Structure formats: structure tokens, C-alpha cells
A and B are shown apart, each in its own frame.
Chain A
Amino acid sequence: MNPVYAIVGLPLAAAAVLVLVPGYRTGAWLNVAASAATLAASLFLFVAEPEPTALFVIDALNIYLIVLTCFVGLTTSVFSASYIGHELQSGKLSPRSLRFYHAMYQGFMFTMLAALSANNLGVMWVAVEGATLTTVLMVSLYRTAESIEAAWKYFILCGVGIALALFGTILMYLAAQPVMGPGMAAMTWTELLRHMGSINADILNLAFVFLLVGYGTKVGLAPLHAWLPDAHAEGPTPISAVLSGLLLNVALYAVLRFKMLLAVNGEALSPGPLMMAMGLGSLLLAGFMLYRRRDIKRFFAYSSIEHMGIITFAFGIGGPLANFAGLLHMAMHSLTKSAIFYAVGHVAQATGTQSIDKIRGLTVSHPALGWGLLVGVLAIAGLPPFGIFMSEFLLVTTTFAREPLLAVPLVLGILIAFGALVLRLQQICFGEPSGEVRPIHGSLVPLYAHLALVLVAGIWLPGPLVAWFRTVAAILG
């Protein structure tokens, strides 16, 4: 049997069951169990290597993203199980909204996995749209004025983005239809790839611009990033973790799929410069914005914009090395940023605030948590020996070799963001603890598991994994 059906079907079935489960503890553990089962099913992909069907395709590019998504989905559900009970006790959430939350969590996993494995461009679009809807509902979960404003902004901006992406998809079909004839084939990615050479390049160019702007809104690329900090700051922290760690990757993956199509067609415009410009813009903008943030979740949301900018730039510059760096950075950023959000969630519960100015001396008051956050932030800032240092180092060296002029703003952006991160890190982690010190409930296992992976990847990448990344980097062109 094709494992894809299990990967996509399990979260969907779990969502249907979770709607009916009344107790929040049962719901939380069912959520963990479903995520674990999905991860197990995703591991079978390595053995099965299924052939592409009309709906699903599994190739070297998405198999790694699917496994990554399932893994972070599992660890986040473990974190969520220990986090969400506290929200119930403090009266921020009702048991009913928790039931809804767990069902939506699995619904969100379903849409992301469907988007990642889709072979049909229309199905991929529907899945990304579904991911928008489920996350909008979760961002507004607390029903506070701020969370509803954030969800509204998110919905309006991403709704428009997704509409533009659909227009791009229609244009794609329009371009392919004279060559491939009407019908499903002209919407199927693997078929399109085969016929790309003879397709009218002008319409492709127009389509790609719409697709880049449309899906780029969901990646959080400047100047379309306005929804991202609000959505991250106002929703429940587990959702911030999966938004940053997974959803942004999925949207970028959609852009990459279309970039691969354009790369095959010799006459179409090269997507590289557009992606490089948007990536550098996001990096620089987010780097400067980091200094002015007062809310800790907003702060790390801007850091996500910065990193998505770096990744987009890497894929924009293209070539085996830069693509390798982009892929590695995607994985490392997912793991590190979700780990940071786990820590931030516990910090917010322990101190009762999200304001950076009021959080002091974490390493004194909560040593395990404080040092965990410290290590996470150092990793995301790009210090050795963590994985992000490796990918950034690779990217910077290739950029210097190929486009020396572009390397200047790249390095500048990374340094600016580094400065902001270290500055805030000192305030948060060191000094005298302020305010009342409450013990934290919940496990730090997901946080340290992610950090350990990032550390190992920074020191030693297994040979097969490197070979794997190389093949993917070669497909991306």
C-alpha cells in the first residue's frame, strides 16, 4: 500500500475523532498518539518509494519535508499536552475550545501533509488554503481583542495572497493547456515537468509572479509579512511553534515546486533574481525590526521572517551549494525555532508575561529552562557549533564566490539580526530575576531533543544525509 494515504489519512481521521472526545487529557494524548502514528507512517516512505499517482507525488525533495513536518508535529503535540493544561487552569481557555483546538491541530497537520505530497497543483492550492483556515481559527482561540485582530489581519492578507496564487495556478494551466490538451494532466506536476520545454514562456512568467507573491505572502516575505508577527504573538504558543517551524516551509515548498517547473523551460525568466530580492529585503527589514520589539513572541516571529528571507535568498541564488545550504537551513530553522517557542511558552507561563522588559534572570530562576532558551537563541543567531552556523556559512561563502556584491547585504543582515538577538538574550537570561518566581509545569524533553539534533547536525552530518541533500539540491537546479 502507498504510505501516503496513511500519512494524509491518519491526521484527518484523528481530527474527526478528536472533535468527539470530551476530556482534554484524553484529547491531548490522542493528539500525541496520532502524531506519533503519522511519523511512523512517514518513515515507511523511505522503504516504499511510491510511484507518483494523479494526486500524490513523493520525490527526494518532499520526502524530507514530510518527515520533518511529522517529527516537529509530534514534538509540538508533546509540548502542547504539557502546556495546554496550564492554560485551562488559569482560565484562559475553556474545555470546549480545547477540544476544538486538538481537532484543529490534526486538521492543520492534514492540510500541511496534503500540500507537501500533492501532485496536482489544484489540490496543493486547496491544501494551502485549508492550512490558512485552520490556523486562523487557532490564532483566534483566546478570543481576546488582540487575538481576533491578529486572526482577522492574517485571514485578510493570506486570503488575498491565496487568491493571487490561484490566479497564478489558472495561468499555469492556461499555459500548459495548448500543449498538453484539456484535462487533469495539465494540472499534474509530474506531467507538467515532462512537457515544460514546449510551453509558452510568457504566460509562465506572468504565472510565476502571481504564484511568488501569492504563496510568498504565506512564507512571510517582506513586504507581505504584516500578518506573521501578530498571528505568532496572539495564538497559543504550540501554534506559534508549528506556524514558524512548518507552515512557512510548506508555503516556500510550493514556490520551489513552481521554480523547478520554470527552470526546465529554457525561455522563461529566471526566478532567481526575484527570489533573491525578496529574500534580502525580508532579511534586512526583519533584522532592523528586531530591535524595536517588546513582546517576546513577536520578537521571535520577526526572527522567523529573517530566516525565511535567508532561505529564499539561498534558493534564489541556486546552484548545488546554495540549494544545499537552503535545504539544511530550512530543517535547522524548523527545529531551532520550534524549540525556542517551546521555551518561550514555558517562560510566558512561569512569569505570566510576554513582555521582554519584565522577563529577567531566567538562568537564575529557572535554570533548565533559561539555559535551554539561551542555547536555542545562540543557535538561531548562527553561532557555531550549531547547524544554522553551518548552513549560513555555506551560503555566505557561495555568495562571495558567485555574487560578491550581494554578499555584503547578506552578511550585514545576518549581523544586524545577530546583534538584536544577543542584546535581548542578555536581558532575558541574566541578571536578577524580577517579579514572582513560579515553578514551571511540563516537560522540557521536546526543547532539549530539538536542540540536541541541531547540535549534532552542526558537528556531524551523517554521510547518507549529505548525499540525500546533494541529490535534492541537484534536482532544484
Chain B
Amino acid sequence: MPDIAYDASHLLGAVVLLMSFALLYQRRLFSLLNVFTLQALALSAAAAWQGYAHGEPHLYVTALLTLTLKAIVMPLALHRIIVKLNIQRAIEPALSIGLTMVAGVSLVTLSILLVLPVTAEATALTRENLALSLSVVLLGLLMMISRRNAVSQVVGFMSIENGLILAAVGVAGMPLVVEMSVAFSVMVAFIVFGIFLFHIRERFDTLDMQEIESFRGEHR
């Protein structure tokens, strides 16, 4: 029996994951932000679709929050920071792109192998959504490890949060409190990150984390 609700949410979840992969191989900061915007759009659509298919209106709020904060406000703000502070636009990955992709694929395999056996009792949709969102979380981690640039670390962090929202949306009847708090915390996190970016710029004239890493504070 073809089930349109299942197929659509499956598709949207897969798009979010696909965008996580796309984030991994971007070489320029602006295109990184664009891909992140696309991921946030897909996530927002996934949340809205879940709300429609399962008749849970509070998910529309989640979708709206994701749309405004992650697809509009944050990319614009980061864009502004990059232009204002004249940050170097090219991204230098710590790992080569090919290696990162291989690692990414193995992480997705890992999360599927991890999630599917233990959730045998849950519905097919929940299981696959969980596997997808765990993959997004792990890919976000991989991105934070494989990039030295502070802005791309921020984007990696936000894509982890995207994965978490995808998981929360996929579980039926998850209380709204949690989703609100996720959105809220991302906002706060962003403010903090923003402040940091400014101060780091003031102090170092660079956003390359590798140079910052050389301070160990042991030499005073």
C-alpha cells in the first residue's frame, strides 16, 4: 500500500541528510552558508509535514522557528560577519575531501547499524527518522573536527542541532517544551558564538583555530 505520508517524510529526512554531506565538501564559506540554508529549509518542511500528517499542530511552531531562525536569520548574520570582518572566504579542510566523504559514509552506516536493531518495536517511520537524524548529528561532529575555520565550526554545530530537531520531530508526541528549548538554546548559542567571533577577531586578526590552538596558557 503506497503511503504518501511515510514517503514524503522519508524524502524530507533524506534531503536533510544529503545536505549534511553537501556541507562536508564545500570549499567556500558563502556556499557553505547556502547549503546550510537549504538544510534548514528541508528540516522546516519535514517538521511541518510531520505536523500535518500526524495532526500535531505544535510542530508547525517548530517548523516556523526553524525557518525564521536557521534558514533566514543565522545565515544572514553569519554572512554579515564574514563580510564585515573580511574573513578569508576559502575553507581549508584539515582532512582531504575524499577522506572526509569516506568517513561520512561510514558514520551513516554506523548509525543505521546502531539504531535499526534496537528500535525493532517502534514504527518504521520513527526508526528511519532516528537513523537519519543520528547520521546528521555524527556528520555535524565530523564537520566540526575536519574544519579549522571558526565560522564553519559554528555551522557544524548548528547542523548537529538540526539533526536533534529532526529526531525530536520524528518521535510521536514529543512535548513542545523540548523543541522550543532547542530553538531557544540555538539562538543563545548563536549570540555567544557571535560575541566570540568578534573578540577572536579583535585579538588575533584571524579566525583560524589552528593558530589559536597554539596558546596553551602554560607559559606565563
Could you tell me which A residues sit within 8 Å of B by CB distance? 120, 122-123, 125-126, 129, 133, 136-137, 140, 143, 145-146, 148-152, 155-156, 159-160, 163-164, 166-167, 169-171, 173-174, 177-178, 181-184, 186-187, 200, 202-203, 205-206, 230, 233-234, 293-295, 298, 353-355
Say yes or no: B174 contacts A230, CB within 8 Å: no
By the criterion CB–CB under 8 Å, are B167 and A148 in contact? no
Question: Are the C-beta atoms of A202 and B164 separated by less than 8 Å?
Answer: no
B200 touches A202 (CB 8 A): no
Instruction: Offer 12 A-B interface pairs, CB within 8 angstroms, sorted by A.
Output: A122-B175, A126-B181, A149-B212, A167-B167, A170-B164, A170-B168, A177-B172, A181-B173, A206-B115, A295-B218, A298-B217, A298-B218
- With A and B bound together, what is the CA distance between A112 and B121 in angstroms? 36
Are A120 and B177 in contact (CB-based, < 8 A)? yes
A170 touches B220 (CB 8 A): no
A173–B174 CB distance below 8 A: yes
Residues in B whose Cβ lies below 8 Å from that of A183: 173, 175
Q: How far is the CA of A75 from the CA of B129 in the complex (A)?
A: 48
> B171 contacts A163, CB within 8 Å?
no
- Which residues of A are found within 8 Å of B164, using beta-carbon distances? 163, 166-167, 170
Whether B178 contacts A167 by the Cβ 8 Å rule is no
Query: Which of A160, A166, A233, A234 lies in contact with B144, CB distance below 8 A?
Result: A160
- Cβ–Cβ contact B137 & A167, under 8 A: yes
User: Among B17-25, B34-42, B184-192, which stretch is in contact with chain A?
Assistant: B184-192
Contact with A along B111-148 (1 / 0, CB 8 A): 00011011111100010001001100100010010000
Contact status A148-B181, CB under 8 Å = no
Answer whether residue B182 sits at the interface, using C-beta atoms and an 8 A cutoff: yes
With a cutoff of 8 Å between Cβ atoms, the chain B residues found around residue A170 in the complex are 164, 167-168, 171, 174, 178
Expressed in whole angstroms, the Cα–Cα distance for A239 and B88 within the complex equals 35
- With A122-B175, A123-B177 given, is the CB distance from A150 to B217 under 8 Å? yes
Q: For the complex, what is the distance from the CA of A137 to the CA of B195, rounded to whole Å?
A: 10
Give the distance to chain A from B199, nearest Cβ to Cβ, in Å.
5
Q: Do B172 and A182 touch (CB < 8 A)?
A: yes
Q: Do residues A145 and B215 form an inter-chain contact, with CB atoms below 8 A?
A: yes
16 more CB-based (< 8 A) A-B contacts, given A160-B144, A177-B172, A177-B173 = A122-B177, A129-B185, A149-B217, A152-B196, A152-B200, A160-B160, A174-B122, A174-B130, A178-B122, A182-B173, A187-B178, A202-B117, A206-B115, A234-B217, A295-B217, A295-B220
* Alpha-carbon separation in the docked complex, A184 to B177 (Å): 9
Given A148-B199, A148-B200, verify A174-B220 contact (CB < 8 Å). Answer: no
Contact A133 B130 (CB under 8 A): no
Assess whether B161 is interfacial by the CB under 8 Å rule: yes
A368 to chain B, nearest CB (A): 26
Separation in Å of the A147 CB from the closest CB of chain B? 9
Q: A122-B175, A174-B130 are contacts. A159–B189 as well, Cβ < 8 Å?
A: yes
Q: Is B196 a contact partner of A177 (Cβ separation < 8 A)? A: no
Which listed residue, A133, A171, A205, A234, touches B189 by the CB 8 Å rule?
Answer: A133
Least CB separation from A148: chain B residue: B199
Residue of B nearest to A203 (CB): B118
The minimal Cβ–Cβ distance linking B166 to chain A, given in whole angstroms, is 10
- A166 x B182 contact (CB < 8 A): yes
- Beyond A143-B199, A163-B160, is A149–B174 a contact (Cβ under 8 Å)? no
Q: Is the interface of B mostly helix, strand, loop or mixed?
A: helix
Provide the bound-state CA to CA distance between A355 and B219, in Å: 8
Q: A166-B182, A170-B174, A174-B171 are in contact. Are A151 and B119 (CB under 8 A)?
A: no
4 tightest A-B contacts by CB? A182-B173, A202-B118, A122-B178, A146-B217
Whether the Cβ atoms of A133 and B188 lie closer than 8 Å is yes
Give the nearest-CB partner of A206 in chain B.
Answer: B118
Q: Out of A143, A145, A171, A187, name the residue touching B204 (CB < 8 Å).
A: A145
Select from chain B the residue with minimum beta-carbon distance to A234.
B217
* B157 interface residue (CB < 8 Å to A): yes
Cα-based distance from A202 to B217 in the complex (angstroms):
44
Contact A354–B220 (Cβ < 8 Å): yes
Q: Which residues of B contact A126 (CB under 8 A)?
A: 181, 184-185
Q: Chain A residues near B188: list those with CB within 8 A.
A: 133
Give the complex CA separation of A80 and B171 in angstroms. 46
The residues of A that contact B181 with a CB separation of less than 8 Å are 122, 125-126, 129
Contact of A146 among B161, B167, B215 (CB under 8 A): B215
Q: Given known contacts A145-B203, A163-B161, is B196 in contact with A151 (CB within 8 Å)?
A: yes
Among B175, B182, B212, chain A packs the most CB atoms within 10 A around the CB of B175
Q: State A164–B172 Cα separation when bound (angstroms).
A: 20
C-alpha spacing A363/B145, complex, angstroms: 46
Max chain B C-beta neighbours (<10 A), residue from A149, A177, A295: A149
Residues of B contacting A167 with CB < 8 Å?
133-134, 137, 163-164, 167
The distance from the CB of A90 to the nearest CB of chain B, in whole angstroms, is 15
**Of the residues B130, B157, B174, B178, contact of A156 by C-beta under 8 Å:** B157
A181 vs B181: C-alpha distance in the bound complex, in angstroms?
22
A298 and B184 CA atoms in complex are apart in Å by 33
User: What distance in Å separates the Cβ of B124 from its nearest Cβ neighbour in chain A?
Assistant: 14
List of A residues within 8 angstroms of B209 by Cβ = 152
Nearest A-chain residue to B189, judged by Cβ: A159
CB neighbours of A123 from chain B (8 A): 177
Partner of B196, one of A120, A155, A233: A155
Q: Are B217 and A230 in contact, with the CB atoms below 8 A?
A: yes
| Cross-interface CB contact of B171 among A120, A177, A200, cutoff 8 Å | A177
- Docked Cα-Cα span, A160 to B126, in Å, equals 24
**Pairwise interchain contact A163-B220, C-beta atoms closer than 8 A:** no
Task: Give every chain B residue within 8 A of A122 (Cβ-Cβ).
Answer: 175, 177-178, 181
CA gap between A12 and B57 in the complex, in Å? 32
Give the CA-CA distance A294 to B167 in the complex, in Å: 45
Set of chain A residues within 8 Å of B121, measured between Cβ atoms: 178, 200
B198-211 CB contact bits vs A (8 Å, 1 = yes)?
Answer: 01100110000100
Distance of A131 Cα from B43 Cα, bound (Å): 28
List chain B residues, Cβ under 8 A from A355.
220
